[in-house]
Amino acid sequence: MRLPRGLKQYGLVALAVPGFLLLTGVSTLADSSPSPTSASGPRSNALPGDPTKGEALYGSAGCGACHGASLEGGVGATLNPIEKLSGVPNSLDPSFLIAIITNGRDPQPGDPRQTKMPVKGGATISEQDIKDLASYIIQANRTGEPPLTPGELAKRTIFFVGVGIVVMVFITYLLAQYNMRWIARRAAARRR
């Protein structure tokens, strides 16, 4: 049995559109950044300080001026989800965070941001305050879903708008084909 040419085209389009959508979805998921849990490796439940005090200190010590009011980043690194730093296997390791806050950090090649972290964030804070700040950062990365970055939000919006456009073009194509056949049948019926 030989299929008419139109059915072959419909079959090709019917397979191509879902295949395209599947490939686009897979590539979008592959491009998304890893979750803070997977980027940081296994978690330790022990916190070096009090995250509630750290949150209050974060606001009063002026950390938000560089790292954003909600840890979303700005001039300084994004702290939720915490940015992966070059040469650092676990950015949420309490001892690493305490060392960074205590001693500061010069930008390294491969770091996402090339800004210097000043010693103790440029503030006068105690060792316990530093532990509380580290605990707040760790706790924020462990709980809930961090807000989408503007880039991630734009990428998801573009993806779904693109899917909508592809679906609408496909439906329009199918309706146009059906309409052309209907017109041809009506014309043939009038000629009889």
Show pLDDT as tens, one digit a residue, over the chain (192 residues). Answer: 565 665 666 666 777 777 776 776 666 665 555 444 444 444 456 889 999 999 999 988 889 888 888 888 888 888 888 888 778 888 889 999 999 999 988 888 877 777 888 888 888 899 999 999 999 999 988 886 666 677 777 888 888 888 888 899 899 989 988 888 888 899 999 988
Q: What is the reported pLDDT for 37?
A: 43
pLDDT for 128 equals: 94
Smallest CA-to-CA distance from 45 within 83, 79, 92 is with 92
pLDDT of residue 85: 78
pLDDT of 31: 55
pLDDT number for residue 41: 43
Tokens of 5: 């040419």
**CA distance linking residue 6 with residue 177, whole number of Å:** 9
Kindly list the distances between the CA atom of residue 61 and the CA atoms of 33, 67, 82, 122, in Å, as whole numbers in the listed order: 30, 12, 19, 9
Q: In terms of pTM, does the model score above 0.75?
A: no
Give how far Cα 48 sits from Cα of 1, 11, 75, 178, Å: 74, 61, 26, 68
The confidence score (pLDDT) of residue 87 equals 81
